[in-house]
Structure formats: C-alpha cells, structure tokens
Amino acid sequence: MSAAISSIPVKAARKKSKRRSVTEPDLSYPQPVIQNGAVLPFDRERAYSPINAPVAFQPSEQRILPLGNQIYAGDTIATLQGFEDNSFDACITDPPYNIARGNKKGMTWAFSNHVTMHEKWDAYSTDDYERFTAAWMSEVCRVVKPNGNIFIFGSYHNIYTVGAIATRMEMKILNSIIWAKPNAQPNITCRMFTESTEQLVWICNNHFKKASKWTYNYAHMKALNGGKQMRNYWEIPLTPKSEKTEGKHPAQKPLALMERIVLAGTHPGDRVLDCFAGSGSTLLACDKLDRRWIGIERDDNYCDLAYRRIDRERQQRRLLPVNT
Ligand SMILES: C[S@@+](CC[C@H](N)C(=O)[O-])C[C@H]1O[C@@H](n2cnc3c(N)ncnc32)[C@H](O)[C@@H]1O
C-alpha cells in the first residue's frame, strides 16, 4: 500500500471535529457561492462562460444543512466542507475512476461509436487519486448520519483504492455489488477479456464493530427479483439512448441501476447525497422515488443537464419543475 493511503487518519472521518481535509480544494473550478452563511444552489440562469470568479471557501466557518432537491455547482470537497455533520441519510455516488489518459487520444473501435475516456476530471496520478478519494470519503462520512448507507461506484481501476480506504477507516463494508452489462463494448485489442462489469461498494457509515440498523429494503428487493432473495450480481444493460435525449455524459449510469440502489438503501423522504452528480442519474432516481436529493457537480453543463433530465421526467409526470 502506498504512503498516501497509509497516512489517512484512521477514524478521523467519524470524529465530529473541525478537521481540515487531506487535500486543499481545487480552486481552478467553480467554487460554491456563499451568501449570508449559506451555500447558494446552482443557478440555472447563470451564463456558462466565463465561469464566475472562484469564491474562497473557509472550511468549517459556517456550516449549513443543505436544502433538498438542489445541485451545488463546485468542487465536491470544498462544498462538502460547508455542510453540517449528519446532513444526509445516505450517499450514492459515482466518483472519477481515474481511467482517463489526460489529453492523449484514446483508441477507438471502428465498428462502434465507443471513444476511450479522456476527460480531464478523470485523470490523476496514483498518489493524487488516493489523497483525493480519502479526502472526499472522509467528508462524506462526516455529513452522512451514523449507520447511514454509502454506495460508491468503481471499476477495477479505482475500486480497490476505495475499498482500501474504507478498510483503513475501519468502516463496515456490507457488500460489493457487481453491475454486469449484457451489451458491453467489445474489447478492441483482442488481448484480454471484454470488460463488462463495474462494482459498487456498499458501506455502513460506522465502525465495523458498531455498525447496526442500516437500511436494507429486503422485501422490495425480493419482490424485484421475482420472489427470490436479491443477489449481488445485477444484469442491467448500458444506459439506453432514450435516457440521453437531454444531452450526453460520458459516464451516465442507467436509471434502472440507480433506481434499484435507491430502492434498496433508502426510504421515501430520505435526504440522499450524490457528491459527483454528473448528468444527475442518482438525483433523477431519487426524485422519481420520492427521496430528497442533493447533488454536487463542478461542471455547469452537467448541472444543467441534470436539471433538464429531472424537469423533463417531472413534465411527464405532470409535476412542477424543480426550481419553482
Ligand atoms: C463518473 S461521473 C458521474 C456520472 C453520473 N453517475 C451520471 O450518471 O451521470 C463523475 C462526475 O464528477 C464530476 N467531478 C469530478 N471531480 C469533481 C470534483 N472534484 N468536484 C465536483 N465534481 C467533480 C465530473 O464532472 C463528472 O461529471
């Protein structure tokens, strides 16, 4: 294990201290806008470009309980630092996987529209990625209530880092779930197996010896699985085109997958956090299933995409749009 992981302060995340995070926030991205001690939600009328000047955020100065059904535009660590302890019942999130190759052009498959990820937000050095992951996971543990559920997505590129950090923090890992993609992209090199799964680590936000009474809607899951116990192997196709009508995100998760997680691990009315909201798949699933949602996303275009998706789905249900 690298020095970066072994230097994570064990149990630090569960202390209600005003401890600063392991890394400083990245100020080159839009920062949360603070007014009268409150973090302002994403403003849909704001121009995308040029981005508002970054606002210096003073961690632990005036923490707030974020309102439900909002997306905060900004760096996740800085934004989380502005939230009160125990603000959420659960966190379901899909962080950068550290797959991207910076600005290098990836290989493409001649017979599909597959393009290798080269998003800037997904490219870290190994040490930086470990520090970044430890920092946001520590904040998530602080803002989620004790024994609240934390679900974190990953692939083989990052899931071992996430698992090692959770173990180092002595948290209770309940399951790892395999999302199997029956229509996965073919392997263009033909030198290894077709990568057709992603993982989801399910953590109970407590010390592994103290964890208790986490939410698991056993009956719902059993009903969803034709009356048999739900297994931790879920076959769900890749995000269909019908879910991309409002725009594209390179890592958009299928709604069926997100709805299953929301149904399994939260109750109606729960406050659910997604601190890497992207196109808003977690938020949309929560909205549909009557959970309150709070997203954090640093790319304004994705914030807007997420709101558009939620509003469109609300229109179909003849509900009012989000910010009315
Ligand atoms: C893997 S994607 C999430 C995709 C999402 N699950 C969906 O279905 O659309 C990760 C997202 O986190 C955002 N992101 C990356 N680093 C961030 C940071 N430090 N703070 C806030 N957002 C960040 C990226 O812009 C990207 O949209």
- Dihedral class, residue 280 (left if φ above 0, else alpha if ψ from -120 to 50, else beta): left
At residue 318, the pLDDT reads: 72
310 has pLDDT over 70 = yes
With contact defined as beta carbons under 8 Å apart, do 148 and 89 qualify? yes
Mutate to test the pocket of ligand 1, among 75, 99, 298 (most ligand atoms within 8 A of CB): 298
CATH of the domain at 196: 3.40.50.150
Q: Does 189 score more than 60 pLDDT?
A: yes
Cα–ligand 1 centroid distance for 138 (angstroms): 17
pLDDT score, position 39:
43
Full domain range(s) for residue 104: 3-316
Q: Among all chains, which residue has been given the structure tokens 């809607």?
A: 217
Q: Is 279 part of any domain?
A: yes
- Please state whether beta strands 171-180 and 197-207 pair in parallel, antiparallel, or not at all (unpaired): antiparallel
In angstroms, what is the span from residue 123 Cα to ligand 1's centroid? 12
Q: Does some domain include residue 184?
A: yes
Please give all residues whose beta carbon lies within 6 A of any atom in ligand 1, as ranges: 75-76, 94, 96, 121, 249, 251-253, 276, 278-279, 281, 296-299, 302
Hey, CA dihedral for 52, 58, 61, 67, is it positive or negative? positive
Residue whose CA lies nearest to ligand 1 atom number 7: 252
CA neighbours closer than 13 Å in the CB half-sphere of residue 194: 11
Q: For residue 305, give the nearest of 265, 247, 224 by alpha carbon.
A: 247
- State which ligand 1 atom lies nearest to the alpha carbon of 26: 19
Find the 277 Cα to ligand 1 centroid distance in Å. 6
Task: Quote the percentage of the chain above a pLDDT of 70.
Answer: 73
Token code pair at residue 114: 């597959």
- For residue 281, tell me if it sits in a domain: yes
Please report the pLDDT score of residue 66 as a whole number: 86
Within a domain: 158: yes
Q: What pairs with residue 94 in β-bridges?
A: none
Q: Is residue 323 part of a domain?
A: no
Mean pLDDT across the stretch 20-49?
40
Q: Return d(Cα 215, Cα 198) in angstroms, integer.
A: 23
pLDDT tens, position by position, 146-178? 999 999 999 999 999 999 999 999 999 999 999
Enter the pTM of the model.
0.81
User: Which is the closest atom of ligand 1 to the Cα of 132?
Assistant: 19
The pairing of strands 88-93 and 271-274 is parallel
What is the model's pLDDT at position 16? 45
pLDDT on residue 61: 57
Residue nearest to atom 27 of ligand 1 (CA): 278
pLDDT at position 307, please?
92
Name the residue with the closest Cα to ligand 1, atom 19. Answer: 75
Residue 321 lies in a domain: no
Which atom number of ligand 1 is nearest to the Cα of residue 93? 6
pLDDT, one tens digit per residue, over 68-116 is 899 999 999 999 998 999 999 999 999 999 887 554 444 433 333 444 5
What is the distance in A from the centroid of ligand 1 to the CA of 121?
Answer: 8
Give the residue, by CA position, lying nearest to ligand 1 atom 15. 121
Place of tokens 């698991």: 216
Record the tokens describing residue 65, joined without a space: 């309980």
- Residue 324 included in any domain: no
Return mean pLDDT, the chain. Answer: 80
Distance in angstroms (rounded) separating the CA atoms of residues 168 and 159? 14
The average pLDDT across 296-324 equals 85
Residue 21 gets which letter from DSSP? Answer: P
Residue 265 included in any domain: yes
Spatial separation of the C-alpha atoms in residues 169 and 5, rounded to whole Å: 10
User: 142: CA distance to ligand 1 center in Å?
Assistant: 20
**For 275-296, what is the mean pLDDT?**
95
Q: Which of 276, 286, 305 to mutate to test the pocket of ligand 1 (most atoms within 8 A of CB)?
A: 276
Task: Judge residue 269's burial from the number of C-beta atoms within 10 Å of its C-beta, 0-12 exposed, 13-18 middle, 19 or more buried.
Answer: exposed
Q: State the pLDDT at residue 168.
A: 92
**Number of domains composing the chain:** 1
Phi, psi of 293 (to 5 degrees): -125, 145
Q: Which of 46-60, 194-208, 259-273, 281-295 has the lowest mean pLDDT?
A: 46-60
What distance in angstroms lies between residue 113's CA and the mean position of ligand 1's atoms? 22
Average pLDDT over residues 256-274: 95
Q: Work out the average pLDDT over 64-70.
A: 86
- Å from CA of 95 to ligand 1 middle: 6
Q: Assess whether pLDDT exceeds 80 at residue 31.
A: no
Do 10 and 173 form a contact (C-beta atoms < 8 A)? no
Which pLDDT tens digit goes with each residue over 190-216? 999 999 999 999 999 999 999 999 999
**Separation between Cα atoms, residue 170 and residue 173, nearest integer Å:** 9
Q: Where are the alpha helices (DSSP H) in the chain?
A: 3-6, 76-81, 126-143, 159-168, 218-224, 255-265, 281-288, 300-316
